[in-house]
Structure 1
Amino acid sequence: MDPDIALFVDVVQAGSLAGGARAWRLSPAMVSKRIARLEARLGIRLLHRTTRRLTLTETGAAFHAEVAPLIAGLRVAERRVTHRDGEPAGPFRVTAPTSLGRIWVAPYLSGFLARYPALRLSLDLTDDFADVMGERVDLAIRITAAPPNGLAAHRFAVNRRVLCASPSYLERAGTPVSIAALAGHQLLAAKGQLPWRLTGATVAGESLIETNSSEVVREMALAGAGIALRSLWDVADSLADGRLVRILPRYEGSVAVGIFGLYAPVGAPAAVPALIAHLEAVWRDAAWMT
């Protein structure tokens, strides 16, 4: 299958260079360059391009009518011979936040991979936001209040965040009885997490430690260093066994923040909905999902 011809067919199907770029996880500039390369090779003009619209030339329309059914047939044949006709298979790249991925994604992948043995899964754990299109990521699990435009977004759950501290810290420093009282306490937060925007209040201040790791914040809270605002998926077990204590329970992190699965709106592999369904199933009974 000629990749430039296949790209041309998908650009026409999407109705724009940007739409074709999303489907192929390329930049619009790269798509334009490859279409121009195809035109140069064929010695014909296939598309009229403007900033607002894309139309086929007469020759381009005739060429599209010839090649589109061929590309569709080749794709069907490829799926059949590689057992990918609706079945997740092939390379599959996933990214997730470091802590969430380590605690709530990685331990549940064994069953998923056993169900789809033809998958070649790559899992990147990072607290940076990967560029789904630019970095050819198939599924990005992110914690955010505003999923980026141009991506399909599946909301798994509200990312509930609560104020908590260890019993040893509260015994030493006292338990705050109001939001204002937090000004007299040691706060723990990773870079960019302060101020804390809570339901009905905002807490400003500086973290006791400067770190880019949320896991460091959790470990320091467990060690008695101060008060942290932590996601329930991260500390539910510690709250249940008493290693951490929730404080000021009427205040939580903003309910606008959610856990999302983000993926290309066009051309996402079958593994994307399959993994989303798998994670929803294994997370369903978790305490932090309620």
Structure 2
Amino acid sequence: MDKFAALNAFVAVIDHGGFAPAARRLGVAPSSLTRQLNTLEGTLGTLLLNRSTRSVTLTDVGQRYLEDARRILDDLDNADRAVSEAGGPPGGLLRLSIPVAFGRLHVGPALPVFLRRYPDMRLDISLTDAVVNLVEERIDIGIRLGALAPSSLIARKLAPHRRVICASPDYIAEHGAPATPQQLAAHNCLLFDYLSGDSSWTLTRDGARERVAVSGNLKASGSELLREAAIGGAGLILMPKWLVGADIAQGRLVPVLEGWSVSPGPEEGAIWAVYLPSRRGSRKVNCLLDFLSDHFGSPPYWD
């Protein structure tokens, strides 16, 4: 039995919620994972998993074993990384988690250049708007937008996360542009469906702070859908500049209330790369983050 492969299979089954999703993630057949787990449990002489037709859960012993298995796999990754990075150009596998729209617009197009520059590098990218657990998902780098929750993760700022309120020229021609924050209440504002359910926009200028309750006939959990609706003349949107910068530059959208700031504070208004302390000093991590930082520019090209 390949003990490390069995440990990896065990951790993957738990992290991905079952044998089938774990098998898809690892690129193997579910029956292969089942055999590995059965062999591992047989070797240990105890059950690690409770299996049913609907779910897979840890036994008490399995819960304790999972913690040790994660530590062993992390130690192995760290050892492999130290050897592979001892000399020569950066190489090896990097696993990333990136928000969907940002990854599609600003990371994906840059990757061919990165991979040509560093042919020994391999990337495994998960596009998701969920805030993933880097340890459980075995992610090397997570890209996060906006405020960061307190954690032990190392955070590196890649670019600002400035937001703007904008609408199409047709909408403004028909309804006019708001001259003050309070006038937003009279406009059709297209709302991003935040988990908090808050339907207010906060603007600041010269120390003054205006919080305005806004409403509209469209709410969505997808920022790109709202952007398309705004371009079509449906209403006002509050979106990050990285999403609408090209539309503003090409005249498809027009910013309003430009004298007001609609971004969070300077530390919250950022695009971050986060990674575990064990990845500190990793050449391949720093290599990719340096590349992305240079690619985005200062100020970033979308501004």
Residue 279 (structure 1) shift: 0.7
Q: How many residues align?
A: 230
Residue 133 (structure 1) shift: 1.7
CA contact (8 A) 1:159 1:257 kept: yes
Aligned to 1:260: 272
Rounded to whole Å, the distance in 2 between the matches of 1:214 and 1:109 is: 23
Change (3 A) 1:141 1:241: same
CA contact (8 A) 1:236 1:287 kept: no
Aligned to 2:213: 204
Aligned to 1:215: 224
CA contact (8 A) 1:232 1:288 kept: no
Describe the SS at the equivalent of 1:129. Answer: coil
Confirm whether residue 187 of structure 1 aligns to residue 197 of structure 2: no
Change (3 A) 1:170 1:118: same
Describe the SS at the equivalent of 1:154. Answer: strand
Aligned to 1:280: 293
Letter in structure 1 aligned against 2:220? T
Rounded to whole Å, the distance in 1 between the matches of 2:227 and 2:137 is: 30
Residue 147 (structure 1) shift: 4.3
Describe the SS at the equivalent of 1:282. Answer: helix
Letter in structure 2 aligned against 1:253? S
Rg bigger for which structure?
A: 1
Correspondent of 2:95 among 86, 90, 93:
93
RMSD: 3.1
Rounded to whole Å, the distance in 2 between the matches of 1:152 and 1:85 is: 24
Residue 234 (structure 1) shift: 1.3
Correspondent of 2:283 among 259, 265, 270:
270
Q: Deviations over 1:53-79 (max 9, x none)?
A: xxxxxxxxxxxxxxxxxx99x948x86
CA contact (8 A) 1:164 1:227 kept: yes
Which structure 1 residue ranges, 4+ long, deviate > 4 Å from structure 2? 28-37, 285-290
Change (3 A) 1:217 1:149: same
Aligned to 2:160: 158
CA contact (8 A) 2:96 2:124 kept: yes
Aligned to 2:248: 239
Q: Deviations over 1:22-67 (max 9, x none)?
A: xxxxxx9556545999xxxxxxxxxxxxxxxxxxxxxxxxxxxxxx
Aligned to 2:173: 171
Q: Deviations over 1:252-281 (max 9, x none)?
A: 222332100011111354321111100111
TM-score by length of 1: 0.70
Rounded to whole Å, the distance in 2 between the matches of 1:79 and 1:33 is: 21
Correspondent of 2:259 among 227, 243, 250:
250
Residue 117 (structure 1) shift: 1.7
Letter in structure 2 aligned against 1:220? A
Describe the SS at the equivalent of 1:224. Answer: coil
Describe the SS at the equivalent of 1:246. Answer: strand
Change (3 A) 1:30 1:228: farther
Rounded to whole Å, the distance in 2 between the matches of 1:117 and 1:188 is: 43
Give 1:24-39 correspondences, 5 Å limit. 33-34=68-69
Correspondent of 2:129 among 127, 130, 136:
127
CA contact (8 A) 1:198 1:254 kept: no
CA contact (8 A) 2:245 2:302 kept: no
Rounded to whole Å, the distance in 1 between the matches of 2:69 and 2:129 is: 33
Letter in structure 2 aligned against 1:215? E
- List alignment gaps of at least 5 residues for structure 2: 5-62
Letter in structure 2 aligned against 1:198? L
Rounded to whole Å, the distance in 1 between the matches of 2:92 and 2:144 is: 23
Letter in structure 1 aligned against 2:222? S
Letter in structure 1 aligned against 2:145? I
Rounded to whole Å, the distance in 1 between the matches of 2:199 and 2:89 is: 44
Letter in structure 2 aligned against 1:223? G
Rounded to whole Å, the distance in 2 between the matches of 1:97 and 1:155 is: 16
Q: Deviations over 1:222-255 (max 9, x none)?
A: 1110001111111112111211111011222223
Letter in structure 2 aligned against 1:229? L
Name which of structure 1's ranges 249-258 and 106-115 shifts more when overlaid on structure 2: 249-258
Q: Deviations over 1:3-28 (max 9, x none)?
A: 7xxxxxxxxxxxxxxxxxxxxxxxx9
Aligned to 1:111: 113
Rounded to whole Å, the distance in 1 between the matches of 2:70 and 2:93 is: 26
TM-score by length of 2: 0.67
Rounded to whole Å, the distance in 2 between the matches of 1:172 and 1:126 is: 37
Aligned to 1:60: none
Rounded to whole Å, the distance in 1 between the matches of 2:70 and 2:126 is: 32
Rounded to whole Å, the distance in 2 between the matches of 1:232 and 1:36 is: 40
